[in-house]
């Protein structure tokens, strides 16, 4: 993980390297570890975005050897609780990509929330998958 300082914000080349595969404008991210902290978000993007409790079916949270933060991996018999962070701009998503570094990749997912489920809805979102953990499981 990288602690961002004002001069560590990724330049356009770095941002394109991380986000070229994210062609649609979904500004939602499902978080399940360090990024659940409003203090961490505030330090990264200088504001606290709107968040809702979320549940990700078909995944499980697990420890990553030698790391103080978790990863998640696909598991049809499990679910992961976390937060659905909404309304993020493209620049804010770029900052989160830079924070997560190349150790994680942002992937598409459907997140469930009690209020959304009662209306028969799911929210399109992204989550960060730990690359090494996904390969090891």
Model pLDDT, residue 83? 92
Per-residue model confidence (pLDDT) at position 130: 76
| Catalytic residue status for 100 | yes
Of the residues 92, 100, 103, 105, only one is catalytic, namely 100
Q: Which tokens sit at 16?
A: 């394109």
Residues 66, 69: Cα–Cα separation, whole Å: 9
Among 70, 43, 73, residue whose Cα is nearest residue 58: 73
When pLDDT is cut at 50, 70 and 90, the band that residue 1 belongs to is very low
Quote the pLDDT of residue 82: 92
DSSP 112: B
Closest CA to 66 of 136, 124, 13: 136
List CB contacts of 33: < 8 A, sequence separation 6 or more.
61, 69, 70, 71, 82
Q: Give the model confidence (pLDDT) of 31-86 as tens digits.
A: 999 899 989 988 999 998 988 898 889 999 988 888 888 888 899 999 999 999 98
pLDDT, one tens digit per residue, over 97-129 is 899 888 888 888 888 876 655 555 566 676 677
pTM tops 0.85, yes or no:
no
């Amino acid at each position: 993980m990288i602690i961002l300082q004002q001069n560590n914000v990724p330049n356009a080349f770095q941002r394109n390297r991380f986000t070229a595969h994210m062609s649609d404008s979904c500004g939602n991210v499902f978080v399940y570890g360090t990024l659940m902290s409003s203090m961490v978000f505030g330090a990264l993007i200088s504001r606290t975005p709107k968040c809702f409790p979320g549940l990700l079916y078909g995944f499980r949270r697990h420890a990553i050897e030698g790391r103080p933060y978790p990863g998640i991996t696909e598991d049809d018999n499990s679910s992961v609780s976390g937060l659905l962070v909404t309304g993020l701009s493209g620049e804010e998503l770029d900052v989160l990509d830079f924070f997560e570094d190349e150790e994680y990749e942002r992937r598409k997912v459907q997140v469930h929330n009690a209020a959304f489920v009662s209306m028969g809805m799911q929210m399109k979102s992204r989550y960060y998958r730990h690359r090494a953990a996904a390969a090891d499981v």
